[in-house]
């Protein structure tokens, strides 16, 4: 591997690893389930995406690069769907929002629906 390939590959790898660590830290530190989903869905997607692209570039094989890019695309397609379904399922089973939350239009709407 030449230096000109090694540098971007290592930058991508370190950046991807950093985002994954920060996503994990976010899951630990954020106050409730919903805010944790933010860390998992965004920083997690970018982290794994960067590592995949680094692996694809580092292999120096177009077939592997295409597969790595396809993996990234599938991450982008599936991460928001799973985050949405988990958040919805949590809210429907009454997982409370953190105390510091300022509003909840979704709960208000469900109450209105129940009164109808």
Partner 1 sequence: MTRLIVLLLFTLTWVAVTGSFTLLNLAFGLVLSGLALFLIRENVQPSRIAVRPFKVLSLVILFFKELALSAFKVAVLVVRPKMDLKPGILEFPLKVDRDFEITLLANLITLTPGTLSVDVSDDRRFLYVHALDCADPAATIRDIADGFEAKILEAFR
The binding site for partner 1 (CB under 8 A) comprises 18-19, 22-23, 25-26, 29-32, 34-35, 37-39, 41-43, 45-47, 63-64, 66-67, 70, 76-77, 79-81, 83-84, 87-88, 91, 97-98, 100-107, 109
Q: Is 94 left (phi over 0), alpha (psi -120 to 50) or beta?
A: left
Q: Least distance from C-beta 105 to partner 1, angstroms?
A: 4
Q: Are 34 and 1 in contact (CB under 8 A)?
A: no
- Report the residue number, 6 or 84, with the smaller CB distance to partner 1: 84
**Contact of 52 with 76, CB cutoff 8 Å:** no
- Report the residue number, 6 or 80, with the smaller CB distance to partner 1: 80
* CB closer to partner 1, 8 vs 31: 31
């Amino acid at each position: 591997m030449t230096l000109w390939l090694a540098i971007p590959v290592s930058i991508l790898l370190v950046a991807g690893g950093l985002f994954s660590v920060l996503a994990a830290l976010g899951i630990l530190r954020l106050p409730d389930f919903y805010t944790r989903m933010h860390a998992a869905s965004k920083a997690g997607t970018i982290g794994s995406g960067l590592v995949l692209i680094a692996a694809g570039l580092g292999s120096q094989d177009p077939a592997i690069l295409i597969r790595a890019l396809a993996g990234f695309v599938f991450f982008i397609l599936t991460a928001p769907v799973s985050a949405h379904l988990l958040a919805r399922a949590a809210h429907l089973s009454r997982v409370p929002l953190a105390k510091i939350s300022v509003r909840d239009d979704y709960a208000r709407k469900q109450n209105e629906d129940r009164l109808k």
